[in-house]
Amino acid sequence: MSRKTAIVIGAGIVGLATTRALAKKGYSIKVFERNQRATGASIRNFGMVWPIGQPEGILYNRAMRSREIWKEIGDENIFWYDPAGSLHLAYSADEWKVLEEVHACYIKDRKLELLRPMDISRKTGAVVSKGLMAGLYSKDELIVDPREAIANLPTYLQENFKVAFHWGKCVSYIADQTVYIGNDEEYEADLIFLCSGSDFETLYPEAFSKYPLTKCKLQMMRFSAQPSKWRIGPALCGGLSLIHYQSFKSAPSLNLLKTRFEREMKSYLDHGIHVMVSQNENGELTIGDSHEYGLSPDPFDKDEVNRLILTYLKKFARLKDWTVKESWNGVYAKLTDGGTEIFFSPEPGVYIINALGGAGMTLSFGLCEELINDL
Q: Each residue of 81-140: pLDDT tens digit?
A: 999 999 999 999 999 999 999 999 999 999 999 999 999 999 999 999 999 999 999 999
Q: Would 31 be classed as within a structural domain?
A: yes
The verdict on 226 and 302 lying in the same domain is yes
Domain shared by 169 and 303, yes or no: no
318 Rama sector, left if φ>0, alpha if ψ -120 to 50, beta otherwise: beta
Give the pTM: 0.97
Task: Taking residues 29-44, report their average pLDDT.
Answer: 97
**133 and 103 in one domain?**
yes
Domain assignment present for residue 270? The answer is: yes
For the stretch 281-322, pLDDT in tens is: 999 999 999 999 999 999 999 999 999 999 999 999 999 999
Give yes or no for residue 2 having a pLDDT over 80: no
CATH number of 316's domain? 3.30.9.10
Q: What secondary structure does DSSP assign to 333-367, as a single string?
A: EEETTS---EEEEEETTEEEEE--GGGHHHHHHHH
Q: Which amino acid is at 168?
A: G
Residues 186 and 289 in one domain: no
E strand or H helix at 136? strand 134-138
The amino acid sitting at 295 is L
Q: What is the pLDDT of residues 127-137, one digit of tens each?
A: 999 999 999 99
Q: Are residue 257 and residue 286 in the same domain, yes or no? A: yes
* 221 and 307 part of one domain: yes
Question: What is the rounded radius of gyration, in angstroms, for the C-alpha atoms of the chain?
Answer: 21
Does residue 250 form part of some domain?
Answer: yes
User: Can you give the residue range of the structural domain that contains 254?
Assistant: 86-139+213-335
How far is it, in rounded angstroms, from Cα 98 to Cα 340? 24
**Total domain count, the chain:** 2
pLDDT of residue 1: 61
Identify the CATH number of the domain in which residue 22 sits: 3.50.50.60
Angle (CA) 196-198-201 rounded to 5° is 75
Give the pLDDT score at 227. Answer: 98
> In this structure, are 293 and 179 located in the same domain?
no
Average pLDDT over all residues of the chain: 97
Residues 95 and 181 occupy one common structural domain: no
Whether residue 102 is found in the same domain as residue 122: yes
Residue 260 and residue 321 in one domain: yes
pLDDT of residue 157: 98
**What are the CA-CA distances from residue 28 to residues 36, 162, 347 (Å)?**
22, 8, 21
How many Å apart are CA 199 and CA 196, to the nearest integer? 6
